[in-house]
């Protein structure tokens, strides 16, 4: 029964979740829970807090599925946005933890030695390759904002740059990422293996 919905699209699963079909939520978790957890762990550097963030995000999916508008966004984007937002909320609450993050920004989890799903590893390598193609200043702004949970004002202060410069680095960085991801060879795969 675990993968009874394996053939359904993400969007169809959200519609089922809106009807309180628990099995649809389970399938969405099976597709995106691991990515959401990896993201939350990178931001929070604390497995217990990361679990909290992921749990809150999936319960938000459950509660608000009926308001999801498929024309506006892909379901995967919506789910991972919710997970990111929860993790950032929590990291901002945990000021002390964040101060620690700012001091040294290594990967929270060693890349070697993690029993990583092959498909997810491929996706990660693609994103990291796209990031490597960005100018250093843009990459730094995106990483500190997205993985560090810094606000744009905090970024400006930390990097000693005017706010306008930070805004333009974030914008140009995301816009360039988009272009790179559309190029063949760096093409992202958005669908989960089932």
Partner 1 sequence: MDVHDLTAAYALDALSPQETEAYEQHLGQCERCREELAGLSEAATALAYGAVAPAPPPRLRTSILDAAREERTNVVPLRRSRWVERGSMLAAAAVACVAVGLGVSLSQPGQQIVTATLSVGSGGKAMLSTSGLGAAPRGKTYEAWIIPAGRQPRPAGLFRGGPDSSLALRGSVPRNAVVAVTVEPTGGSSAPTTSPIFSTHA
Compute the distance between CA of residue 30 and CA of residue 194 in angstroms, rounded to an integer. 9
Total Cβ atoms within 10 A of residue 150: 24
Determine if 41 is a binding residue for partner 1 (CB under 8 A): yes
Question: Within positions 85 to 124, which residues make up the interface with partner 1, using CB under 8 A?
Answer: 85, 88, 107, 109-111, 114-117, 120, 123-124
Q: Which long-range contacts (CB under 8 A, 24 or more apart) does 78-81 make?
A: 78/14, 79/10, 79/28, 79/32, 79/36, 80/32, 80/35, 80/36, 80/39
Identify which of residues 164 and 185 has a Cβ nearer to partner 1 in the complex.
164
3, 27 Cβ separation under 8 angstroms? yes
Q: How far is the CB of 114 from partner 1 (least distance, A)?
A: 5
One of 46, 74, 137, 159 touching partner 1 (CB under 8 A): 74
Determine if 155 is a binding residue for partner 1 (CB under 8 A): yes
Q: How far is the CB of 96 from partner 1 (least distance, A)?
A: 19
Identify which of residues 34 and 97 has a Cβ nearer to partner 1 in the complex.
34
44, 97 Cβ separation under 8 angstroms? yes
186, 81 Cβ separation under 8 angstroms? no
Determine if 4 is a binding residue for partner 1 (CB under 8 A): no
One of 31, 44, 49, 84 touching partner 1 (CB under 8 A): 84
Determine if 76 is a binding residue for partner 1 (CB under 8 A): yes
């Amino acid at each position: 029964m675990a993968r009874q919905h394996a053939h359904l699209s993400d969007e169809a699963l959200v519609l089922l979740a809106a009807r309180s079909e628990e099995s649809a939520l389970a399938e969405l978790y099976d597709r995106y829970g691991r990515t959401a957890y990896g993201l939350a762990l990178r931001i929070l550097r604390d497995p217990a807090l990361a679990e909290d963030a992921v749990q809150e995000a999936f319960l938000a999916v459950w509660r608000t599925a009926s308001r999801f508008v498929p024309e506006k966004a892909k379901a995967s984007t919506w789910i991972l946005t919710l997970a990111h937002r929860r993790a950032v909320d929590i990291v901002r609450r945990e000021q002390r933890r964040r101060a620690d993050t700012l001091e040294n920004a290594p990967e929270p989890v060693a890349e070697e030695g993690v029993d990583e799903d092959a498909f997810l590893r491929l996706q990660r390598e693609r994103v990291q390759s796209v990031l490597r193609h960005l100018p250093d200043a843009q990459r730094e702004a995106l990483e500190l904002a997205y993985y560090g949970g810094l606000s744009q004002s905090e970024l400006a202060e930390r990097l000693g740059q005017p706010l306008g410069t930070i805004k333009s680095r974030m914008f140009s960085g995301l816009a360039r990422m988009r272009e790179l991801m559309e190029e063949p060879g760096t093409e992202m795969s958005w669908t989960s293996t089932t």
